Amino acid sequence: MHKNISNIVKENRFFIVFIFLMLVFRSSFADWNAVPTGSMKPTIIEGDRIWVNKLAYDLNIPFTHISLKNFADPERGDIVIFESAKAEKRLVKRIIGIPGDTVSMINNSIFLNGKPLAYKITSRHLNHIILEEKLTQSAHKIRLERPLQSRADSFTPITIPEKFYLVLGDNRNNSADSRFIGFIPRKEIIGRARHVVMSLDYNNYYLPRADRFLQKL
């Protein structure tokens, strides 16, 4: 029995090494992440597979969250992937506030360090509107469902502590984010997403969406 196992390993050693190296690569360098919900609409939609740069912030020991080297810290506007202990699953959200920032929200409008962000409506639909939100030098789009009022459309000013981040989904009325699970610990953030690798249309027999391949977020 032992000899048979040894022979199998020997005969398939190159394949085994390849699989191991691929797992190491996906664990510490880069990976892709399927997005099953619409919490980041219109930026990311259901069925998107996003590219996760795991070297954007840290070099971790493979298969762990232990950082060997810190390259950078998340910035406002970054789309991050994190393993949420509170939500008990992996989530994708946008960084709104970094350590030291004071953030509040009034009727879906964000105030950052006492100053309101700029908003511009880009399109109106029967059940939602799309706006541009200028958090950094470049604006990104957010989605507000109609009716616009919800129990999470406002919160009082709160200052973000060290090593924590405030994140929101771009689909503001349909996102389990910092308004529900609190600040995100720095150690839970595993990477940054800036591109869609590919996308499958769940409502059309899982056919690929060619227009979303390699789309920039």
Nearest residue to 217 (alpha-carbon basis) of 76, 75, 78: 78
Could you read off the pLDDT of 86-106 as tens digits, one per residue? 999 999 999 999 999 999 999
On the question of pLDDT at 25 being above 80, the answer is no
User: Residue 8 contacts by C-beta under 8 Å, 6 or more apart in sequence?
Assistant: none
Could you read off the pLDDT of 110-160 as tens digits, one per residue? 999 999 999 999 999 999 999 999 999 989 999 998 876 677 899 999 999
At residue 217, the pLDDT reads: 94
Q: CA 12, CA 69: separation in Å to the nearest integer?
A: 34
Could you read off the pLDDT of 159-210 as tens digits, one per residue? 999 999 999 999 999 999 999 999 999 999 999 999 999 999 999 999 999 9
On the question of pLDDT at 72 being above 70, the answer is yes
At residue 175, the pLDDT reads: 94
How many structural domains are present in the chain?
1
Give the pair of three-digit tokens for residue 214: 């390699």
Check which CATH number belongs to the domain holding 178 and give it.
2.10.109.10
Count of beta carbons in the 10 Å neighbourhood of residue 126: 5
Q: CA 38, CA 58: separation in Å to the nearest integer?
A: 28
Q: How many CA atoms lie within 13 A of 81 on its CB side?
A: 23
Q: Establish if 25 belongs to a structural domain.
A: yes
Give, as one character, the DSSP assignment of residue 77: T
Three-state SS for 114-134 is: CEECEEEEEEECCCEEEEEEE
At residue 1, the pLDDT reads: 55
On the question of pLDDT at 7 being above 70, the answer is no
Q: Which residues are catalytic?
A: 39, 93
Could you read off the pLDDT of 42-55 as tens digits, one per residue? 999 999 999 999 99
Query: Where in the sequence is the domain holding 189, given as residue range(s)?
Result: 2-212
Question: How far apart, in Å, are the Cα atoms of 217 and each of 17, 21, 79, 96, 214?
Answer: 34, 28, 8, 16, 9
On the question of pLDDT at 77 being above 80, the answer is yes
Q: Establish if 217 belongs to a structural domain.
A: no
